Amino acid sequence: MSIDEIHESNVRFHDSWRFFARNSVAGEVHDLPEVCVASSNVSWSMMNAAFLPAPVETEEVLERAAAAAARYFVPRRRGWMLALCEDWVPARLRERAGALFAPHGLKLTMVATGMVAERLAPPMRPLPLMDIRQTKDSRGRGDIADVNALCYDVPVPVGREAFDVPGLFAGDSKGFVGYRHGEAATSAAVIRVDDVAYIAMVATLPSHRKLGCAEAVMRHALAEAKQAWGIERTVLHATPVGLPVYRRMGYRPVTRFLFYMAAPQPGR
């Protein structure tokens, strides 16, 4: 890993969430001095995000970032997330982050690994045959929303509020759903962010896992991105479940992100 790739992982993450926010029904983007806000203003906390604009060295700067994010999110009574890149915060300060964030209702909920691939490695095994369709209508948007909601243990209406939005799958973004036995089994989206294809919304229903479904739909999405945009370099942020899949595909780890999340405020 390098400083440049750590920076790239942060910037692509921020820019992708900005894309979600700007193309959501009520989304907002604010680049504040202390923190960058990219909020879809939906019920799914992970889609209402705050990011550090640059590496931090002191406890005071980190606390101000959390406080500025809270001033934006708390009046809206939405659940929200502060994403903390491990390589942008010294180890001594990472150990204090939980205590600093706790007064704002933030708890460490998830860890994601920033990964990059200049190009994909060849498949290591035959991939399943699926009917892979691009998300171009309400049915496709509903299917990609439902697969992600079920996999992330989020209520289906919450998933649809976040992802059943036409603007999320047009222009610089393409969504895909893989169908097996007539059922929406897996999904992926690819977003053009400058000269990088950013992969998001990768999810596979439990009954279709360990067959290569996620890899198949991702490879299809990235092939479409290369044909449409001429882009081969790809970035993503992996959950622990997805990490082995992405390694097999040729992705390598660059950095890690700690997701601190706050629940919606009472009365929302």
pLDDT at 141 over 70: yes
Would the pLDDT of 122 be above 60?
yes
pLDDT at 267 over 90: no
pLDDT by residue (tens digit) across 178-196?
999 999 999 999 999 999 9
| 10-20 pLDDT per residue, tens | 999 999 999 99
Structure tokens at 78: 């939405």
pLDDT band for position 265 (cuts 50, 70, 90): confident
pLDDT of 113 > 80? The answer is yes
Amino acid letter for position 61: V
Sheet of 36-39, strands arranged across: 28-31, 36-39, 48-51, 80-85, 252-262, 107-117, 234-238, 196-204, 183-193, 173-180, 131-134
Closest CA to 134 of 161, 170, 165, 162: 170
- Tens-digit pLDDT profile for residues 95-111: 999 999 999 999 999 99
Mean pLDDT of the chain: 96
pLDDT at 268 over 60: no
The answer for residues whose C-beta is within 8 angstroms of residue 7's C-beta and 6 or more apart is none
pLDDT in tens, 142-162: 999 999 999 999 999 999 999
CB 80 within 8 A of CB 45: yes
Packing angle between helix 156-163 and helix 138-151, nearest 10 degrees? 130
CATH number of 131-232: 3.40.630.30
Q: Is the confidence at residue 201, as pLDDT, over 80?
A: yes
pLDDT digits (tens, 9 = 90+) for 202-253: 999 999 999 999 999 999 999 999 999 999 999 999 999 999 999 999 999 9
**Nearest by Cα to 140 from 105, 95, 173:** 173
pTM for this model (two decimals): 0.95
pLDDT tens per residue, range 12-50: 999 999 999 999 999 999 999 999 999 999 999 999 999
Report the C-alpha gap between 108 and 259 in whole angstroms: 6
> Looking up tokens 């007064």, which residue turns up?
103
User: Can you tell me the mean pLDDT for 246-266?
Assistant: 95
- Residues with Cβ within 8 Å of residue 100, at least 6 apart in sequence: 59, 62, 63, 66
The CA-based angle 153-114-64, given to 5 degrees, is 85
Q: Could you give the percent of the chain with pLDDT greater than 70?
A: 99
* Domain extent listing, the chain: 3-113+256-262, 131-232
